[in-house]
């Protein structure tokens, strides 16, 4: 048979955006006929969450795949144009200082792999939710996240040509001690059921703490002349606002579906607030110590983005559902004056085994710290730097040769102090089936004791090194297993990045001067 | 409370004592200085004497601290309780278990 040629005059009927969305998403849903719904969606019951009406899910963004790809392609075009221009114009020389890139090394090693992990798990949600609305939202987020991973890699690869520490990030993430903090956090979420993951990552990570976790890196970039990262940040911004809306919709949906969901969600919130908050420890030191030009202090950012916007804004709304602020929030608030200092002190003495460098804060930097932290810096942390200054003057550099005791849950060295007492380290000990486990805080201990069967399996880097699973039992063997190259680790002053930077800045200055001379002649 | 899971969920600890053979993990906590960002963890033979543990493990590490003096008198704790280490006794004889935390301060 032959098909009649289409008549040119007859235009195809155009659907409205909303109708197209309905047709392309919900319209594609079907009732299973040869398996049961439980067989088709086998992971929806065991967490105890009750969903009565999947159709009640409000789709916050009525995007279709064709509209979605069109927007994303447009954003990618803009980003890659900036990256080309940056590479051609030797844009890296306009950074505030090569030391700034330590923040981006941490970002590439610690955060970029999380984008990939998020991509994987939102794909899992897109498979396992029984409602087409949340399935499609999860699918879009899954695609966003892999795009974030790729664009971050492409953005930062511009620096890899000239600077250390950026050449082996996926392996760094899997192997290195400080990166087990974000990695184990996400692995913890990946091994949850679909609803807990939604609260862990969709809500706690993407909504509650995103302004403390992700945004500070982008603001740091814009304050320190890092145009590519800043452009990436803008390109991710519209996705992130979609993710935030999804996170908020998710928690409200679960709370509205059944009253029995409320205590389950509350417990997840209690757990995931603290888990995600502990990951922000790395961000806190980045803001206060790694950025040559400061955006704002960790304390200010915690007060603004968490205390003001979340505790006062969000949790007042959630009270309507019977949800209270996360269990250990008071400890986090109390820690805002000490957190970044304690974390940088860890990184400073262990940076011989890291994919970035550290250095003692200069006198001007210390002045800024003491103004930003009037109640704690001069009393508790400046004395340590003064001692280190004397140590350096007599030829030392404080690198700890031993290995730190780690928290069984957050995996950070046990450097945090008792709430309200910055002079006493916080040690919590729990016993489970005859073995003892240590945690760094009330929050981590509570999490451990709720699910000891899970956390006793933690891959703790120090313990693994001592078992000989990381290249060998000695520090040089471990560093080789990390694939650290000359210049990746250690002290910033005199490092490969630092000396190159000084040379390049000198050359650039000489070149400008000679241009000016010619112009004057 | 026990874990919510799809099936049976019972896996061993990834840092149980048997994984270290005749050794065990021991943590030392310098409680009167913040020079060390956190307590320090060692892998030590359970049959090691306190004298060896002190001389071969603690002192070489602690000398990184310019204020450390191996000769000063110290007080000790073992999971919070006062503790008197004996040079000739092994870690096991002293009651130091796998992953235990030993605290120390310069005596007043
Ligand atoms: Fe992302
Ligand atoms: Fe996101
Ligand atoms: Zn912890």
The pair of three-digit structure tokens given for residue A21, joined into one six-digit string: 């969305």
Q: Please say whether the beta carbons of A212 and A165 come within 8 A.
A: no
Mean local confidence (pLDDT), B68-81: 94
Give the contacts of A33 (CB within 8 A, at least 6 positions apart).
none
Element (H, E) at A46: none
Per-residue pLDDT for A518 more than 70? no
Contact assessment for residue A306 and residue A123, using Cβ atoms and an 8 Å cutoff: no
Taking an 8 Å cut-off on Cβ atoms, the answer to whether A467 and B36 are in contact is no
Provide CB contacts within 8 A for B49, sequence distance 6+: B87, B88, B89, B90
Least confident of A60-69, A273-282, A329-338, B50-59: A60-69
- Residue appearing with tokens 């002192």: B59
Euclidean distance between CA atoms A187 and A35, whole angstroms: 31
The pLDDT tens digits of the residues spanning A130-177 come to 998 899 889 999 999 999 999 999 999 999 999 999 999 999 999 999
Give the contacts of B82 (CB within 8 A, at least 6 positions apart): B75, B76
Model ipTM?
0.98
- Measured torsion, CA atoms of residues A500, A501, A504, A509, in degrees rounded to the nearest 10: -150
End-to-end CA, chain B = 44
Q: How far is the CA of A214 from the centre of ligand 1 (A)?
A: 9
> What class, spelled out in words, does domain B26-106 have in CATH?
alpha beta
Identify which of A216, A235, A213, A215 has the alpha carbon closest to the alpha carbon of residue A154: A235
Reported as a pLDDT band with limits 50, 70 and 90, residue A480 is very high
Q: Is B38 on the interface with A (CB under 8 A)?
A: yes
Considering only CB atoms, A413 lies closest to which of B10, B37, B60, namely B37
Which residues are B105's β-sheet partners? B75
Q: Is A376 helix (H, G, I), strand (E, B) or coil?
A: coil
pLDDT at A19: 82
As a whole number, the mean pLDDT across chain A is: 93
pLDDT tens digits, residue range B76-93?
Answer: 999 889 999 999 999 999
List Cα–Cα distances, A413 to A310, A450, B107, in angstroms: 28, 21, 26
- Domain borders along chain B are 26-106
B77 contacts chain A (CB < 8 A)? no
In chain A, residues with a C-beta closer than 8 Å to the C-beta of B33 are none
Q: Residue A425 is nearest to which of B2, B17, B39, comparing CB atoms?
A: B39
Model-wide pTM > 0.90: yes
Binned at pLDDT 50, 70 and 90, residue A521 comes out as very low
Q: Encode pLDDT of A175-192 as tens digits.
A: 999 999 999 999 999 999
Paired tokens of A379: 């009393």
- A-chain CB neighbours of B101 within 8 Å are 405, 427, 429, 438
The mean pLDDT of A2-21, rounded to a whole number, is 67
- B4 inside 8 A of chain A by CB: yes
The proportion of chain A whose per-residue pLDDT surpasses 90, expressed as a percent, equals 83
Give the distance, in angstroms, between the CA of residue A437 and the centroid of all CA atoms in the same chain: 26
The CA-atom distances, in angstroms, between A509 and each of A86, A94, A159, A503 are: 19, 12, 21, 10
Q: What's the pLDDT tens digit per position in A411-466?
A: 999 999 999 999 999 999 999 999 999 999 999 999 999 999 999 999 999 999 99
Query: Looking at A103-112, A239-248, A435-444, B34-43, which range is the least confident one?
Result: A239-248
Cα angle for residues A512, A516, A519 (degrees, 5° grid)? 140
Tokens of A400: 């700890």
Asked if B5 is an interface residue toward chain A (Cβ–Cβ < 8 A), one would say: yes
Residue B14 clears pLDDT 50, i.e. is over it: yes
Contact residues for A477 (Cβ-Cβ < 8 A; gap 6+) = A470, A471
Which structure tokens are listed for A473? 């039992």
Closest CA to A233 of A138, A151, A146, A356: A151
CA–CA dist A157, A83 (Å, integer): 10
- Evaluate if residue B72 carries a pLDDT over 60: yes
Please say whether the beta carbons of A164 and A488 come within 8 A: yes
Do residues A41 and A132 touch, judged by C-beta distance below 8 A?
Answer: no
Whether B37 and A400 lie within 8 Å, measured CB to CB: yes
User: What is the model's pLDDT at position B13?
Assistant: 98
Q: Do B38 and A414 touch (CB under 8 A)?
A: yes
pLDDT tier at A1, thresholds 50, 70, 90: very low
Q: pLDDT (tens digit, 9 = 90+) per residue, A386-404?
A: 999 999 999 999 999 899 9
C-alpha distances (whole Å) from A134 to each of A45, A241, B17 are 17, 16, 45
Residues 430-449 of A with CB under 8 A from B: 435-438
The pLDDT confidence band at residue A8, using thresholds 50, 70 and 90, is: low
Is the confidence at residue A3, as pLDDT, over 80? no
Helices (H), A7-93: 17-24, 37-40, 65-88
Q: What stretches of A468-508 adopt beta strand conformation (E)? A: 490-491
Tokens of A344: 């940088």
Residue B25 is inside which H or E element, if any? strand B23-30
Q: Which domains does chain A have, with CATH numbers?
A: 61-359+401-504 (1.10.620.20)
């Amino acid at each position: 048979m032959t098909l009649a040629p289409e008549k040119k005059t007859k235009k195809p009927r155009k659907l409205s955006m909303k109708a197209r969305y309905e047709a392309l998403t919900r319209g594609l849903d079907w009732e299973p006929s040869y398996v049961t719904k439980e067989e088709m969606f086998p992971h929806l019951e065991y967490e105890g969450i009750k969903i009565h009406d999947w159709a009640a899910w409000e789709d916050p963004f009525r995007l279709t795949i064709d509209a979605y790809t069109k927007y994303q392609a447009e954003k990618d075009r803009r980003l890659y144009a900036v990256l080309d221009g940056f590479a051609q114009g030797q844009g890296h020389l306009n950074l505030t200082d090569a030391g700034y890139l330590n923040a981006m090394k941490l970002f590439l090693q610690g955060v970029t792999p999380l984008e990939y992990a998020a991509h994987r798990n939102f794909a899992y949600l897109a498979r396992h939710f029984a409602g087409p609305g949340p399935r499609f939202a999860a699918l879009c987020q899954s695609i966003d996240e892999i795009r974030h991973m790729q664009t971050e890699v492409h953005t930062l690869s511009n620096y890899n040509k000239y600077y250390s520490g950026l050449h082996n990030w996926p392996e760094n993430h899997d192997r290195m001690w400080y990166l087990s903090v974000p990695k184990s956090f996400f692995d913890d979420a990946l091994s949850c059921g679909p609803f807990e993951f939604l609260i862990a990552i969709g809500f706690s990570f993407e909504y509650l703490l995103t302004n403390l976790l992700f945004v500070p890196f982008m603001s740091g970039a814009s304050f320190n002349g890092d145009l590519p990262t800043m452009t990436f940040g803008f390109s991710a911004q519209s996705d992130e606002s979609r993710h935030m809306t999804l996170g908020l919709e998710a928690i409200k949906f679960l709370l509205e579906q059944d009253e029995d969901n409320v205590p389950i969600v509350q417990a997840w919130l209690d757990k995931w607030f603290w888990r995600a908050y502990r990951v922000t420890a790395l961000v806190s030191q980045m803001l206060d110590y790694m950025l040559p030009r400061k955006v704002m202090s960790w304390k200010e950012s915690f007060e603004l983005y968490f205390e003001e916007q979340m505790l006062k804004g969000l949790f007042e709304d959630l009270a309507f559902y019977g949800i209270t602020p996360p269990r250990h929030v008071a400890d986090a608030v109390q820690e805002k004056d000490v957190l970044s200092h304690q974390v940088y002190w860890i990184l400073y003495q262990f940076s011989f085994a890291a994919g970035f460098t550290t250095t003692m804060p200069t006198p001007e930097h210390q002045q800024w710290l003491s103004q930003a932290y009037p109640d704690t810096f001069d009393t508790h942390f400046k004395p340590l730097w003064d001692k280190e200054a004397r140590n350096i003057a007599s030829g030392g550099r404080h690198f700890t040769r031993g290995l730190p005791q780690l928290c069984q849950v957050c995996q950070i060295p046990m450097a945090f102090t008792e709430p309200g007492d910055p002079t006493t380290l916080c040690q919590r000990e729990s016993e489970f089936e005859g073995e003892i486990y240590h945690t760094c805080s009330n929050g981590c201990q509570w999490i451990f004791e709720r699910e000891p069967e899970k956390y006793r399996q933690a891959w703790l880097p120090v313990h693994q090194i001592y078992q000989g699973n990381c290249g060998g039992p000695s520090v040089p063997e471990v560093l080789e297993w990390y694939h650290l190259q000359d210049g990746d680790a250690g002290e910033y002053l005199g490092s490969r990045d630092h000396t190159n930077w000084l040379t390049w800045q000198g050359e650039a200055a000489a070149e400008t001067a000679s241009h000016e001379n010619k112009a004057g002649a | 409370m026990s874990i919510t899971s799809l099936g049976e969920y019972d896996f061993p600890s990834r840092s149980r004592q048997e994984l270290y053979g005749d050794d065990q993990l021991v943590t030392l906590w310098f409680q009167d200085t913040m020079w060390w960002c956190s307590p320090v963890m060692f892998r030590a033979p359970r049959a090691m004497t306190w004298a060896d543990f002190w001389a071969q493990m603690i002192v070489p590490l602690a000398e990184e601290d310019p204020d450390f003096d191996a000769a000063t008198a110290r007080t000790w704790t073992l999971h919070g309780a006062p503790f008197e280490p004996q040079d000739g006794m092994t870690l096991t004889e002293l009651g130091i278990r796998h992953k235990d935390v030993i605290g120390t301060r310069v005596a007043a």
